[in-house]
Amino acid sequence: MRSYTGEYELVIAHDVPAALELLACGEEWRPIAGGTDLMVLFNAGKLSYRNLVSIRRIAELRAIESDESSVLIGAAATYTQIRASEILQGEFPLLVKAASWTGGIANQNRGTLGGNIANASPAADSAPPLLVYDAEIELQSQLGVRSIPYRDFHSSYKRMMMQPDELISRIRLPRRRWTREYSRKVGARKAQAIAKVCVAAAATLEDGRMHDVRIAFGSVAPIPLRCLRTEECLRGQALGRETIDIAKETLRSEIQPISDIRSTSDYRLQVAQNLLQEFLLGLE
């Protein structure tokens, strides 16, 4: 059933302090940006937050900037902005690909990276690249600014290490080069489909051995998952059949996919292992 619109308040914040003031006032205000998740809940009568502050017109939250060591993406930057950003195309291609896989053009014009993070879906398209790139989430409140590694940000299903008075303001991506980067989304349809399984991975090779490797999966656990044990069993190893088989077995024990309307646990386990194999074979 549709929500009763009269029960909801929405105000536009024109700068960050105005948004933070509302988030801190104790009346359970929540930020809204593009509305591609929250308005779906609203239309379905399931939006529990009654007081919304729009942050999508705050210029500093829309900017994509860089310094020597990192690229900083404003939380209200849209997928369309991410796809169009030259620096992201050049240095963080997995994030740009994930943005192109999210929804359709209309959703990409409105949906934001900060919103995707705060929606906290374990199937979020942007989550595996953010994990592989070791993103840091910058949180602002009236008390100040703090950062938290993205791999620690989701504590359990839909739970995040942030307070109600905090706003995700920027996402920091450390700049570095990889020998190979890989990502893939497996879903029912290319556009407008939520992933059955999605993966992002990157590796640097030295003398035929994996010097550094990062692997992250979506839709295989209650949170987007950086697969640290699988990475550990690959680090320093030469590529080959045995290494790949051990990595696949480790991955199998590290993920806990469920059966739901989109897929089954068994299918996700098998596909996740196949995707890991595809990534590793591509390194040879």
Instruction: Determine the interface stretch with another protein among 97-105, 114-122, 141-149, 207-215 (rule: CB under 8 A).
Output: 97-105
By CB under 8 A, residue 110 contacts another protein: yes
Encoded one letter per residue, x for contact with another protein by CB under 8 A and - for no contact, window 254-283 reads: ------------------------------
Instruction: Give the footprint of another protein on residues 170-209 (CB under 8 A).
Output: 190-192
By CB under 8 A, residue 104 contacts another protein: yes
Of 75, 15, 25, the residue nearest 51 (C-alpha): 25
By CB under 8 A, residue 6 contacts another protein: yes
Instruction: Determine the interface stretch with another protein among 105-113, 149-157, 177-185, 265-273 (rule: CB under 8 A).
Output: 105-113
Side chain identity at residue 239, one-letter code: L
d(CA 155, CA 101): 25
By CB under 8 A, residue 59 contacts another protein: no
Q: Cα-flanking dihedrals φ and ψ of residue 38, to 5°?
A: -65, -35
To the nearest 5 percent, what fractions of the chain are helix, strand and coil? 35, 25, 35
Give the Cα-Cα-Cα angle 45, 47, 50 (nearest 5 degrees): 115
Q: Give the residue, chosen from 13, 29, 54, 151, that forms a contact with another protein under the rule CB under 8 A.
A: 54
By CB under 8 A, residue 36 contacts another protein: yes
**Whole-angstrom distance between the N-terminal and C-terminal Cα of the chain?**
54
Instruction: Determine the interface stretch with another protein among 37-45, 86-94, 158-166, 272-280 (rule: CB under 8 A).
Output: 37-45
Q: Give SS3 for 88.
A: helix
Q: At what angle do helices 241-254 and 265-283 cross, to 10 degrees?
A: 150
Q: Cα-flanking dihedrals φ and ψ of residue 13, to 5°?
A: -95, 135
Q: CB of 51: closest distance to another protein in angstroms?
A: 9
Nearer to another protein, 132 or 194 (CB): 194
Instruction: List interacting residues with another protein (CB under 8 A).
Output: 5-12, 32, 34-36, 39-40, 42-44, 52, 54, 56, 80, 103-107, 109-110, 190-192
